[in-house]
Amino acid sequence: MKQNPEKLERYARQCVMPEIGEAGQERLAESRVLVVGAGGLGSPAAFYLAAAGVGTIGIADGDVVACSNLQRQILHTTERIGMPKTASAQKTLSALNPHVHVVTHPFYLNEQNILSVIQSYDFVIDATDRMENKLLINDACVLAKKPFVHAGVLRAGGQIMTYVPEQGPCFRCIFEDMPEEKLPGCAQVGVLGMTAGIAGSAQAMEAVKYLLGTGELLVGKLLTFDGFSLQVRILPIPHRAPNCRVCSSNADIKSLAWYGKYRKSEAHHEVR
């Protein structure tokens, strides 16, 4: 980067920070982050990762841009309605920062392909909006020993937590398994775009902190926020659940076969 004046100027406000510096900026440039979902959470997360100079950003999504997405999915524009979200995301991110390599995975992740996709990335961002998909990402990352950050939003509130292998509880430790009754989603109860913006930005921050090895990650903690009151709480969850189905010594989930059976029985799409 020392030989590139444009990069020095682009990242000047980061490089001046002692937690980053030019060495940290080079580390970001060599890093690879996968964003699963190019929607409300994935949009701000990917935007800020690209702006920060993360060298390779993977975008996994099998959906196309719809008009109803545009209230919160800021990677996309009106003229791109009907375009695959991965293609739209690539256009936006490349226009923002041509130094970033955007890898598109224009399909839904499932039990058959997720492990092969995540293996080449240093960090995974769960930007999906369905419980079964969050469990799949969690289980895949735990089995593959990949760090990831979860976020979920609804109406004006959200939650974020980070998993690092062998350092704290996973998503299943807290939320266990699929509830018996189907949970309402954003289409039923609504969501403010700014809510997704807050959570997605926090996910990007977690990814950058992990890649740089600086700051305090949300490992062993669940951050919740209410956008209407701007109250933030951090709930300590310091220990893994002793009977967690995937990360404990008593784990019974050794593969992702459960997702395929669930998907077929419930006629659900893959991760989206």
Distances (CA, A) of 45 to 79, 115, 126, 203, 204: 22, 21, 10, 6, 5
- Judged against a pLDDT cut of 60, whether residue 270 lies above it is answered with no
What span, in angstroms and rounded, lies between the C-alpha atoms of 240 and 174? 9
Condensed to tens digits (0 to 9), the pLDDT of residues 194-213 reads: 999 999 999 999 999 999 99
pLDDT of residue 266: 63
Average pLDDT estimate for 43-52: 98
The answer to whether 130 and 272 are in contact (CB under 8 A) is yes
Encoded tokens for 120: 């080449």
Condensed to tens digits (0 to 9), the pLDDT of residues 100-141 reads: 999 999 999 999 999 999 999 999 999 999 999 999 999 999
Among residues 131, 106, 97, which one has the least CA distance to residue 38? 106
The answer to whether 93 and 50 are in contact (CB under 8 A) is yes
What span, in angstroms and rounded, lies between the C-alpha atoms of 222 and 144? 22
H or E element that contains 101: strand 101-105
The answer to whether 191 and 155 are in contact (CB under 8 A) is yes
What span, in angstroms and rounded, lies between the C-alpha atoms of 45 and 51? 10
Condensed to tens digits (0 to 9), the pLDDT of residues 185-195 reads: 777 888 999 99
Give residue 216's pLDDT band: very low, low, confident or very high (50, 70, 90).
very high
Among residues 63, 77, 58, which one has the least CA distance to residue 207? 58
Over the chain, what is the mean pLDDT?
A: 93
Q: Which amino acid is at 93?
A: L
H or E element that contains 87: helix 85-96
What span, in angstroms and rounded, lies between the C-alpha atoms of 269 and 44? 24
- Cα angle, residue 87 at apex, residues 82 and 92 outer, rounded to 5°: 105
Condensed to tens digits (0 to 9), the pLDDT of residues 57-114 reads: 999 999 999 999 999 999 999 999 999 999 999 999 999 999 999 999 999 999 999 9
The answer to whether 142 and 247 are in contact (CB under 8 A) is yes
What span, in angstroms and rounded, lies between the C-alpha atoms of 124 and 56? 12
Helices H / strands E in the chain, number of each: 11, 8
Give residue 2's pLDDT band: very low, low, confident or very high (50, 70, 90).
low
What are the chain's domains? 31-260 (3.40.50.720)
